[in-house]
Structure 1
Amino acid sequence: MRTLLLVESNTTGTGRLFARRARELGYEPVLAAADPSRYPYAAEDGVRVVQVDTTDPCAVLAADIGEPAGVTTSSEYFIPVAARIAAKLGLPGPDPDAVTDCRNKAHQRAILAAMAPKCTVVTSVAAAVAAATEFPVVLKPAEGSGSVGVLRCETPESVASQAAALLSVTHNERGLPVPAQVLVEPYASGPEYSVELFGDVVVAVVRKRLGPAPFFVEVGHDAPASLPPSDETALADTARAAVSALGLGFGAAHVEIRLTPDGPRLMEVNPRLAGGMIPELVRAATGVDLVAAQVAAVLGVEPDLRPDRRACASLRFLTASSASVLAAGDTVAAAAAVPGVVQARLYRPDGTSVRPARDYRDRAGHVLAVADRPRAGRAAAVAGLNVLREAVIPERETR
C-alpha cells in the first residue's frame, strides 16, 4: 500500500486526523518522530512510527519510511523539514524556502510592512525598551505558535522583563533552536479574525475570542464570523495579498488579522492549517474538511473545497480562573448533552493541575456547538462550557 509520511505531529487538536484521512483516501500513514512517546494516538490507532532525527531531512529519507506518495506535517515546527523532504522526492508541497522564511515573524514583517503594525526587531533588552516609544506595546518571539510568549506590556519595566524572558529562551519545547529576536510593536485595537485559505480560496473567515489581557490566549472561535460583506471582503483581500507576497499558495494558510478602526492590520501568516480545533469548527459550519484537503493536496489528489452546508458553529475552550485541579466526574457527558453541543472534551486526566491560561497549553478542554443561527450557536457553546467548567476545581476547595 502506498504511504503518507507524517513528519512529527501536533500533540493536541487535529494531529491524529491526518492519519485517519490518509487511510480514508487509501493510503497508509507513517509517522516519523524523534520521540514516539509524544503521540499516544499512534499506538491507539495502529499508526506505524519510525523513530528518527526529524530535524534532518536526509536522516528521515534514510530511515525505513518506504516510498511515500506524499509528505506533510501537522506540527508548526516541522513544516520546513516536510517541505524539503517532499521537494527532494519530487512530491507536491509548498516551496521550502518560502515556508522557512514565513515561520520567522521578523522576516514576515519586513515583507508585509504595509499591511501590519509597525514592528521593531530587537536582540537585547535595552533595544526592546528603546523601541517601546508608546504604550501599550506587544512583545512576541520571532518564532513560535499558540500565543506562547506573546504579552501586552504597559510600562518600560514590563517590556524589560518580558524581553529578558524571551531572549533567555534558546530552544522551544521540541528542543529546536530559536533565534534571539523579539518583535516590539504597538498594540492594535479591534476584534481579531482568522482567514482560512486553501491555495487562493477563502474557505472561512473565523471570529476569534481572546482571553483577558495581558495575554492573547484564544478562548473561542465562531464560524462564520458574521461580518458585513465589506469587512469580510477586506479581510479576505488582505489575507490573499499577504500569502502571495510571501511566496506561499500551496495548500492551507492560517492568516490572523485585526480589524482596527483604520482597517485590517495583519498579525501573522502561518503556512499551515489552523490550530485550536479551527479545522473541525470549519467542517461543522461548512462541511469542508480542511484536514482531508491538505492530505489530498500533498498526495496529488484534487481537494474538495465545496461547502455542503451553511451552519453556525461556535467553539469555546475550558480555562481556569485560578490555580485548579481537574476532576471530570460526569461533566463531559453532561456538557455533550446540552442542546446544540456536538462535541465536549477534556484534554487531561483527573488530578491534573491547571493554571490561568497564558497560552494554548493551558487550555483544559473544549465544547463545540452547532446551530442554524450565530447567536444560538454561541449560546449553546457557552452553556456547554458552563457545564464542563464544573470539572475545574479551585485548589483552595481541595484543601
Structure 2
Amino acid sequence: MSKRALILVEGTRSNGLLYVKAAQCLGLYPITLAADPARHDYLAAGGCEEIRVDTSNFDALIRECSRLNATYTIAGITSADELVYGTVGKLCRYFDLPGPNPTSIEQCCDKFVQRQLLEHANVPIPVFRLGTNATEIESAVAEIGLPVVLKPTVGHGSIGVRLCRDANELAEHTTYLLGENHMWPSSSPRILVEEFAQGPHFSADIMGAQIVGICAVEDGPPPHFVCRGYTHPASLTDEEYKRISRVSLSCMQALNLGWGPSFVELAWTARGPVVIEVNPRLAGGANPRLVQRSCGIDLVAEHLKLVIGEGLNLRRTHSQAAGVRFLIADRNGTLDRIRGDLRAAEIPGVVEVDLYVGPKTPIVRKGDYRDRMGHVIAVSPSQTRTAAILQSAVDLISWSISPFPTRGEQ
C-alpha cells in the first residue's frame, strides 16, 4: 500500500514547520513543492521531502503532482502561504481533492476587489479608493481626507502599508510605491487609498464558518503597522464579542469563504467594529500557537483534517490567557549580539522563546513583519499575569546593532 502524502506548496516562517509536524501526527508523508526550498530553513531539519518546482507555473505543478501520484496516494494539497493559496485551490479541483474555492481566494487576495464585495454586502469598512498613479492618489485623498492608509492591492505582512498623516508623508510613500523599490506582481501598480480606521485592533480566527476566537492586536508606533504582539483571548464584553463575531462572519458570506481557515482584522472605532482586512488563510505570527495554548484547538491540525476530508473538532479543552511579544529591530546595521533568551525561557509561564536572527545578520528595517527578530510566548490563568510575564521575559533580552560602515569607511 502506498504512503498517503500531503503536498505543501511553498511554506512560511511562522507556520511552515507546524504544517509538517501536524501532517506527521496525522500519519501523512509531507512533501513540500517550492521554487527555492532553501528559503524555508525549517526544511533543513528533515522530516519533509522537498522538491524544487516553479510554483508560479500551474502546469508545472500539475506535472509534479501527477508524477508524485504515481508513487504515493495524495491525501491532500494545501499551503500556509497566501500568495499561492489560490493556485492550491485550483490544484485541489484538478485532482478532485477538498480545498478552497480558488475564485473566492483570488478575489479576497485583491484588496480592492475585496473592499468592493464587502461594501456591496454592507459590511462596515473604511472609505476607499483605487489609485494607479500620483494624480489618482491625490484625488482620492482629497475626497477621503487625511490621514489615509496607502497599501498595495496585493501583498501580506503589512509590506508597503503606511499611514500618511500629512502631505509630506503622502508624497514620500506615493513615490516609494510607484518607484522601483517596491516589487509589484505585475507591471501596473495598483494602490489602495483608504480612510484610517482609528481604534484598538482585533483579529478573529475562523475555521469554516465558525469563530474560533478573537485576539487583541498590539501595533507598533505609526506610520508603520508592525505588529508587536497578540493576546488571546481579547478582553471583550459579551456584546463586543458578539458584534465582532457578527461582522466577521458577514465577511465570510460576502466573500464566499465558507471552507477552511480565515482571519479577519478589525478596528473598534467610534462606529463599532470596522473591517480592516480579510485573509483567506490561517494567521501567521505565532497566532495558531496562541489559540492552542489558550483553548486547546490546534488550527493547523484541524485545517489538515479538512484538507484530507476528515471532520473538524473545534471543542475547547481548557481556558488560559496566552500572549506573544515580538522583538522588533530598533535600528539598521549589523547585529553584533542578541542574548538573554535562555534566561527569559526559564521564567515560569514562558512557553516559547524563538530568535530568528544571529550575530553578523544585516538588519535593514522595512516597516513590516520582516522587522521582527524573534518572539516570546507566555501563558497563565489571567491576562494581567501573562502580560507581566511577557514584560519580564522581554526585559531580559538585549541586543546590539552596529551602524553599517559609511562609504569612506569601507
TM-score range, shorter chain: over 0.9
- SS at the partner of 1:112? helix
Q: Which amino acid aligns with 2:95?
A: L
- Whether the 8 Å contact between 1:217 and 1:357 is mirrored in structure 2 is no
2:149 to 129, 135, 138: 138
Q: Which amino acid aligns with 1:126?
A: T
Alignment-derived partner of residue 318 in structure 2: 309
2:134 to 120, 125, 136: 125
- SS at the partner of 2:211? strand
Stretch of structure 1 that moved more, 175-184 or 218-227 = 175-184
Structure 2 Cα separation of the partners of residues 75 and 169 of structure 1: 25
1:341 to 347, 350, 371: 350
User: 1:91-136: CA deviations, max 9, x gaps?
Assistant: 0011111101110000000111232001001111111112112111
Alignment-derived partner of residue 90 in structure 1: 96
Stretch of structure 1 that moved more, 300-309 or 316-325 = 316-325
User: 1:208-266: CA deviations, max 9, x gaps?
Assistant: 00000000110100001011111111111111001110011111001100010111110
Structure 1 Cα separation of the partners of residues 262 and 338 of structure 2: 38
- Whether the 8 Å contact between 2:295 and 2:316 is mirrored in structure 1 is yes
Instruction: Summarize the alignment of residues 93-112 of structure 1 with structure 2, pairs less than 5 Å apart.
Output: 93-112=99-118
User: 1:249-308: CA deviations, max 9, x gaps?
Assistant: 111001100010111110010000001110011111111011111111111111221111
Q: Which amino acid aligns with 2:84?
A: F
- SS at the partner of 2:225? coil
Instruction: Summarize the alignment of residues 113-192 of structure 1 with structure 2, pairs less than 5 Å apart.
Output: 113=119, 114=122, 115-133=124-142, 134-168=145-179, 172=183, 176-177=185-186, 180-192=189-201
- Whether the 8 Å contact between 1:170 and 1:177 is mirrored in structure 2 is no
Q: Which runs of 5+ in 1 are unaligned?
A: none
Q: In 2 relative to 1, CA 286–325 (structure 1 residues): closer, same or farther, beyond 3 Å? A: farther
Alignment-derived partner of residue 5 in structure 1: 7
Shift of 1:397: 12
Structure 1 Cα separation of the partners of residues 378 and 333 of structure 2: 25
Alignment-derived partner of residue 301 in structure 2: 292
Alignment-derived partner of residue 60 in structure 2: 59
Q: Which runs of 5+ in 2 are unaligned?
A: none
Alignment-derived partner of residue 286 in structure 2: 277
Shift of 1:53: 1.3
Structure 1 Cα separation of the partners of residues 264 and 310 of structure 2: 24
Q: Which amino acid aligns with 1:393?
A: S
Question: How many pairs are equivalent?
Answer: 394
Structure 2 Cα separation of the partners of residues 180 and 356 of structure 1: 23
- SS at the partner of 1:249? coil
Q: In 2 relative to 1, CA 290–310 (structure 1 residues): closer, same or farther, beyond 3 Å? A: same
- Whether the 8 Å contact between 1:285 and 1:313 is mirrored in structure 2 is yes
Instruction: Summarize the alignment of residues 174-253 of structure 1 with structure 2, pairs less than 5 Å apart.
Output: 176-177=185-186, 180-253=189-262
Q: CA RMSD in A?
A: 2.0
Shift of 1:69: 1.2
- Whether the 8 Å contact between 1:117 and 1:185 is mirrored in structure 2 is yes
Shift of 1:56: 2.1
Instruction: Check if 1:393 corresponds to 2:400.
Output: yes
Stretch of structure 1 that moved more, 175-184 or 148-157 = 175-184
Instruction: Check if 1:71 corresponds to 2:77.
Output: yes
Q: In 2 relative to 1, CA 182–396 (structure 1 residues): closer, same or farther, beyond 3 Å? A: closer
Structure 1 length-normalised TM: 0.94
